[in-house]
Amino acid sequence: MDALPTTRTCAILDRDGLQALIAALAARGYQVLGPVLRDGAILYDEIAGLADLPAGWTDRQAPGRYRLERRADEALFGFAVGPQSWKRFLHPPVETLWRAQQGEGGLLFSTAAGPSPRYAFLGVRACELHAIAIQDRVFCEGPYPEPGYAERRRDAFIVAVNCAEAGDTCFCASMDCGPQAEDGFDLALTELIDETRHAFLVEVGSAAGEELLTGLPRRAAADAERAAAAAVVARTASQMGRRLDTAGLKELLQDNPEHPRWSEVAERCLSCANCTMVCPTCFCTTVEDRGDLAGSSAERVRKWDSCFTLDFSYLHGGSVRQSARARYRQWMTHKLASWIDQFGTSGCVGCGRCITWCPVGIDITEEAAAIRATLPEPRGEDHGGH
């Protein structure tokens, strides 16, 4: 497997080199974000250096289950993905859109968004690169680009990490979204760790990445090191906990809105919205209008929303999707099917978060397979001849 495109510039960073990378990003004015250990999970937050990274920890994931465990080594990126994604920075969970003042001349609206920090993301997985690319399409490629997202996205510096470990709920390989980071990064790391070494093969993905790398203490990558990095990704690809058969999946879901499986899954689904909150591509939001008690000022706050809430489809008089069955169907059909109509790509990258963080362990790959396996006979099918 020729996992690393040979045209890319490669180098080797050791741990000090990685520390220098973080420092160089901070020196360039980036707010550097990376994985940190917190609240019993690996989350994404501001990091000052290597010491903040979850060295020696991994995550064990299963449907409805997430546990941290010690690793036998001191790997810095030896885990899959946690409950958060980079979405929370590019597309914040809560954001004030504008403020309004009631003055003598009437209402005055002013935009509330200040300048966003310039983010550097360290440790972006292949599935997450794809998720960011999908949200780029959602927010930037329509007739009305989302100005805040577009600005944060434009300014972001992305350091990807090739996964050395696939979780039990991972299925990026079958979604063509990993585990190899192929595109959409400035730099990409592959962690090489064994008894003899702890280093990072770094690939350049952009001019900005190249420029940054030039200033770092590094050495050339040997062929053996390139091969070792390729082997890491190949091993991960072979360890995928799950797969999703995407062949004809769009039509399968869109043509079967009355499949009995929707009712079956609705009996388990709690409509808790966890899957939509942890999903790195779910983009839906609602707004909250707040006024002060004096009635002189008001503001509009945008918040992440979920198609699992009743309010989501509210039309005067009632909600369109009253049943959990309809709401689950909407989520899954949107994610895997109508997303393709809307944005030319599936909305799923195979990160497995919706499976891990579902409190009852509903597995999107299993639901898709069940619908495929028990397709009802087409109505009106003629079995008896003429």
Partner 1 sequence: MPVALADPFLPQPYRVERRRRELAGTVTLELAPLAGACPAFAPGQFNMLYAFGVGEAAISLSGDPASRATFVHTVRHVGAVSGALAGLEPGATVGVRGPFGRGWPLAAAEGADVLVVAGGLGLAPLRPAIYAILARRERYGRVVILVGSRSPAEILYRRELERWRQRSDLEVRVTVDHADAGWRGHVGVVPALIPRADFDPQDTLALVCGPEVMMRFAANALLAAGIKAGRIHLSLERNMKCAIGLCGHCQFGPSFVCKDGPVMSLERIAEILAVPEI
Among 29, 289, 344, 359, binds partner 1 (CB under 8 A): 289
Q: Interface with partner 1 by CB under 8 A: which range of 13-21, 116-124, 178-186, 287-295?
A: 287-295
Taking the C-alpha atoms of residue 274 and residue 265, their distance in angstroms, rounded to an integer, is 15
- Give, as ranges, the residues between 220 and 259 that touch partner 1 (CB under 8 A): 254, 257-258
- By C-beta, is 185 or 328 nearer to partner 1? 328
* Contact flags string 327-346 toward partner 1, x per CB under 8 A: ---x---x--xx--xx----
Q: Interface with partner 1 by CB under 8 A: which range of 151-159, 202-210, 240-248, 295-303?
A: 295-303
List the structure tokens of 325: 């069955």
With b for 16 or more beta-carbon neighbours within 10 A and e for fewer, the 99-111 pattern comes to ebeeeeeeeeeee
What is the four-CA torsion angle of 133, 138, 140, 144, rounded to 10 degrees? Answer: 180
DSSP state of 182: -
Taking the C-alpha atoms of residue 250 and residue 40, their distance in angstroms, rounded to an integer, is 37
Among 14, 300, 345, 361, binds partner 1 (CB under 8 A): 300
For residues 236 and 164, the answer to whether their CB atoms sit within 8 Å is yes
Main-chain dihedrals φ then ψ at residue 264, nearest 5 degrees = -65, -45
For residues 134 and 347, the answer to whether their CB atoms sit within 8 Å is yes
- By C-beta, is 222 or 314 nearer to partner 1? 314
- By C-beta, is 108 or 222 nearer to partner 1? 108
Among 263, 271, 323, 345, binds partner 1 (CB under 8 A): 323
* Neighbouring residues of 7: CB distance < 8 A, sequence distance ≥ 6: none
Q: Interface with partner 1 by CB under 8 A: which range of 24-32, 50-58, 207-215, 313-321?
A: 313-321
3: amino acid identity, one letter? A
Residues that bind partner 1 (CB under 8 A): 97-98, 100, 102, 105-109, 111, 138-139, 142-147, 254, 257-258, 283-287, 289-291, 295, 298, 300, 302, 305, 307, 312-317, 320-323, 325-326, 330, 334, 337-338, 341-342
